Structures are given as structure tokens and as C-alpha cells.
């Protein structure tokens, strides 16, 4: 069999077995042609390869490249001062109501040039890549005017051009009420002006809404979803993070790709998500950093067969986290998710949350050849250690990606 590259002498987490396991193949091989996987399987059953390049993995493990399916990576400024206020006892909601929180990042992001935003965001992206990320989603939401939201989305695109990584862009105009604006008036502008423009310029492929008592109501979220559908954008939601607004249920009725956070999700929400095939994106970094105590209903979601993805939620306010590996550890420790669920949450299930299940997130013939090669003895090592990075190499679309 002719191929561009073959990786051999490796153990594989294919994430492609029947059931929900890791699909482990000991002593396996992966082969690629033009950035796509053309063969995955045990060495004992492999064809003879005529390969341009043969890479001996020396017994390392290969997983699909990691996918961070929920980040707010592009922003300016930082909120360390607010962190200190929280250490003195102020809550996230108190700070937001007093004009801090998201709105303070909006001020800094509006004031930054595109070049400054890019320079501020690149080290955060590089931290993700260093841990094997090959795809990440980046939301806008710190501009809250068409020009400033577009600026964030342009920077997100540039990040994807500067590094070997796929950046998926989501328009989160409905993240917070801009200072000095009426919430309903702003949502009308999001729906009538911003979404049509974002879609026409192909600046994002999905919309997201922060549906919460300190942000937008379910009725306003519905308005955004209707506008998104009119303009062919996919739907995501920040739902049930601080209270139960029934946002996940609403989003599921619109065929949402994912409902994210979902700490306060109820049974009706779970049922709606199952029916619609909406993925739950769990964000243990935000849970940890805000010292949340309401656990997402993981057992019930699992029982219902709702797909469970994980993400860093990388943002300056509630999750200043750029480590998918630490997020996996937090998901295991705080949410009692299994090792298999944690790894699947950053690969196969994250691909689902981005509508890319058929393209990335597994080691399977026909999928893009995005790989993370690890210096570990067993898959559990990825989840178990804290603050340690065992990545050996990253491969993006068949190419080594330093
Ligand atoms: O995902 N919940 C809303 N958005 C972010 C927080 C953003 C911020 O505080 O800057 C989140 O937690
Ligand atoms: Fe978020």
C-alpha cells in the first residue's frame, strides 16, 4: 500500500471502537495520504507499506489530536484584580453587576488593535498546541459591536493561519449587555444587523448565547437562534451555569450542536438534549475556578446517552486555563468522569460538539490525520498527572506540527 507517512511501533487510542471505550490497539500502525488516514490497525494485520516516511514511535501512545471545543481565547487585558476581589469574598455575579466581569474585558478588547489582540492571544494558543491540540473553537463576545466582534473573529482566523491548527469560529455577540445599552435593543441589533453581516462575511459558523439571569433571557436566546437559522449558522448555548433557565431545552429544540456548562440542567433538559442529539460540553475549569458546588448531572446525562464533551472554556474571568490535560484531571477529580470519558471528551465527543464527528476526533480511515503522540505508559497517565506535559509530538493533517 502506498502512503505518505506511516507511524509504527505505537499503541493507539483510536476512540473508534463499538461502545464508548478508547478503542485501544496495542502495537498498531497509522498511515496517511494527503493529510488523511488511510489505514489504522494492529501491526500484525498491516499491509506492506511503500511509504515516503516511516516514523518509529518507540512504543509511545498515539491519540487523535486533542480538540478544545469551547474557548474564549481571543481577548485583551486580564482579570487578576477581579480574582483578588473574589478572594476577598465578592462573587462572580456581584462583580458582573458592579460593571466588572465580562464588561471589563470588553473595554480592554475594544481598545486593542488587531495586532495587539493577536499578540495577546498567541501565547495562549501555543500553550494549547504544546499539549497536543489540533482543533480549537474560539468565540467572540468581548467586542459587543459589529466592528469589535469582527475584529476578534479576524484574529481567530489569523491564529489558524499562523499555526498548524484548525480554528472553528463562533459568534457570541449575545455574551453580555454592552455598557449603556438596553438589552432588548442590543439583541435586536445582534439579530437584525450583526448575524446577517457575520454570516455574509463567513466570519463564524455558529452562534452562541449566554442565557442566564445576569445576561440574556430564554426569549432573547430564541430570537438569536431564529436569526442564526435564517442565516445558516449552527447553534450553541451557555446554559444552566448559574441557574436553571431551561436554555439547554430551548437550544435542543433548535437542533443545537451543544449546550455548555449545564450545572443546573434538569430532567426535561436532559430529555430534550437526548432527543435532539445535542452534546453536553462540561467545563470543569470554570466549575473549579468559580468554586461552584452544583455538579452537572453527569450520571443522568450518561444514563440518557447524551454525548459528554469536555473543554477548557479558556477565558479571563471564570477559567483562565490553557491546559486540556489539567481540565481532564479536573473532570475526573471533580466530576468523577472516567479516564475513557475524559479522553473521549477532548477528542471524539468534542468533534461532535463542533459538528465534525465525521472528519476529526478518532483514528479511523478517511478522517483527517491529526495525531498527538505521547510519552506515557497507559492512557490513564494523561488524566492522572497534574501540571505535567507528556506530549512527544503533534501531527496536523499528516504533517509534523511543532
Ligand atoms: O464561559 N459564562 C459566560 N462566559 C464565560 C465567562 C466569561 C468571562 O467572565 O469573561 C464562561 O464562563
Ligand atoms: Fe464559555
Please, what are the domains in the chain? 2-64+362-400 (2.30.40.10), 66-353 (3.20.20.140)
Distance 317 CA to ligand 1 centre (A): 6
Dist. CA 98 → ligand 2 center (Å):
20
- Ligand 1 centroid – CA 378 distance (Å): 34
208 lines ligand 1 (CB under 6 A): no
Closest to 213 measured CA to CA, from 186, 240, 233, 236 = 240
Q: Atom 12 in ligand 1: which residue has the minimum CA distance?
A: 318
At residue 325, the pLDDT reads 98
The pLDDT of residue 97 is: 83
- Residue 313 alpha carbon to ligand 2 centre in Å: 5
Characterize the bridge pairing of strands 166-174 and 133-139. Answer: parallel
Whether 286 lines ligand 1, by a CB cut-off of 6 Å, is yes
Cα Dmax for the chain: 67
> How many angstroms separate the CA atoms of 386 and 240, rounded?
28
Q: What are the CA-CA distances from residue 364 to residues 205, 351, 380 (Å)?
A: 25, 13, 22
Place of cell 450520571: 299
User: Does ligand 1 come within 6 angstroms of the Cβ of 109?
Assistant: no
- As a whole number of angstroms, the distance between CA 187 and CA 45 comes to 57
Q: Which residues of the chain have pLDDT under 50?
A: none
Which residue among 70, 102, 212, 296 has the greatest number of ligand 1 atoms within 8 angstroms of its CB, and so is best to mutate?
102
Q: What atom in ligand 1 is closest to the CA of residue 172?
A: 4
Q: Which residues line ion ligand 2, judged by CB < 5 Å?
A: 313
Tell whether ligand 1 has an atom less than 6 A from the beta carbon of residue 316.
yes
Decide if 221 contacts 237 (C-beta within 8 A): yes
Pocket probe mutation, ligand 1, options 69, 96, 175, 311, max atoms within 8 Å of Cβ: 175
The reply to whether ligand 1 has any atom less than 6 angstroms from the CB of 284 is no
Test site for ligand 1: of 241, 317, 320, 353, most ligand atoms within 8 A of the Cβ: 317
Q: Distance from the CA of 71 to the center of ligand 1, in angstroms?
A: 9
Is residue 101 lining ligand 1, measured as CB closer than 6 Å? yes
Q: What is the rounded CA–CA span in Å between residue 202 and residue 153?
A: 10
Contact 6, 28 (CB under 8 A): no
CA distance 233 to 170: 9
**What pLDDT is attached to residue 98?**
85
- What cell does 375 get? 510519552
Nearest Cα to Cα of residue 355 among 217, 168, 224, 198: 168
Is the CB of residue 317 below 6 angstroms from any atom belonging to ligand 1?
A: yes
Distance 311 CA to ligand 2 centre (A): 9
Question: H-type helices in 191-255, by residue range?
Answer: 195-200, 218-230, 247-253
Amino acid at each position: 500500500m502506498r502512503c505518505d507517512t506511516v507511524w509504527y511501533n505505537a499503541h493507539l487510542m483510536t476512540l473508534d471502537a463499538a461502545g464508548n471505550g478508547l478503542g485501544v490497539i496495542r502495537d498498531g500502525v497509522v498511515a496517511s495520504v494527503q493529510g488523511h488516514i488511510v489505514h489504522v490497525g494492529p501491526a500484525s494485520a498491516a499491509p506492506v507499506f511503500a511509504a515516503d516516511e516511516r516514523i518509529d514511535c518507540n512504543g509511545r501512545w498515539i491519540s487523535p489530536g486533542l480538540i478544545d471545543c469551547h474557548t474564549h481565547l481571543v481577548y485583551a487585558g486580564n482579570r487578576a484584580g477581579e480574582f483578588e476581589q473574589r478572594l476577598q469574598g465578592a462573587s462572580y455575579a456581584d462583580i458582573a453587576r458592579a460593571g466588572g466581569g465580562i464588561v471589563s474585558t470588553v473595554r480592554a478588547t475594544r481598545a486593542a488593535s488587531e495586532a495587539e489582540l493577536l499578540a495577546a492571544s498567541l501565547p495562549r494558543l501555543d500553550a494549547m498546541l504544546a499539549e497536543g491540540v489540533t482543533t480549537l473553537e474560539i468565540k467572540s463576545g468581548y467586542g459587543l459591536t459589529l466592528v469589535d466582534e469582527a475584529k476578534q473573529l479576524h484574529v481567530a482566523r489569523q491564529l489558524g493561519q499562523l499555526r498548524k491548527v484548525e480554528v472553528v469560529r463562533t459568534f457570541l455577540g449575545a455574551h453580555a449587555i454592552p455598557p449603556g445599552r438596553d438589552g432588548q435593543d442590543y439583541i435586536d441589533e445582534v439579530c437584525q444587523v450583526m448575524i446577517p453581516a457575520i454570516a455574509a462575511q463567513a466570519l463564524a459558523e455558529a452562534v452562541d448565547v449566554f442565557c442566564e439571569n445576569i445576561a440574556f433571557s430564554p426569549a432573547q436566546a430564541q430570537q438569536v437562534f431564529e436569526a442564526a437559522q435564517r442565516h445558516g449558522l449552527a447553534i450553541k448555548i451557555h446554559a444552566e451555569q448559574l441557574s436553571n433557565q431551561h436554555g439547554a431545552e430551548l437550544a435542543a429544540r433548535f437542533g443545537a450542536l451543544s449546550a455548555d456548562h449545564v450545572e443546573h440542567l434538569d430532567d426535561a433538559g436532559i430529555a430534550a438534549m437526548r432527543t435532539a442529539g445535542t452534546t453536553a460540553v462540561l467545563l470543569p475549569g470554570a466549575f473549579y475556578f468559580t468554586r461552584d458546588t452544583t455538579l452537572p448531572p453527569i450520571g443522568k446525562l450518561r444514563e440518557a446517552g447524551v454525548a459528554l464533551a469536555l473543554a477548557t472554556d479558556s477565558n479571563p474571568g471564570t477559567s483562565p486555563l490553557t491546559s486540556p490535560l489539567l481540565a481532564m484531571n479536573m473532570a475526573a477529580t471533580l466530576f468523577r468522569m472516567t479516564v475513557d470519558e475524559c479522553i473521549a471528551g477532548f477528542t471524539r465527543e468534542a468533534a461532535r460538539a463542533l459538528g465534525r464527528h465525521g472528519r476529526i476526533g478518532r483514528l479511523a480511515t478517511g478522517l483527517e490525520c491529526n495525531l498527538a503522540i505521547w510519552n506515557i505508559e497507559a492512557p490513564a497517565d494523561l488524566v492522572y498527572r497534574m501540571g505535567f506535559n507528556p506530549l512527544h509530538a503533534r501531527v496536523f493533517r499528516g504533517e509534523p506540527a511543532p
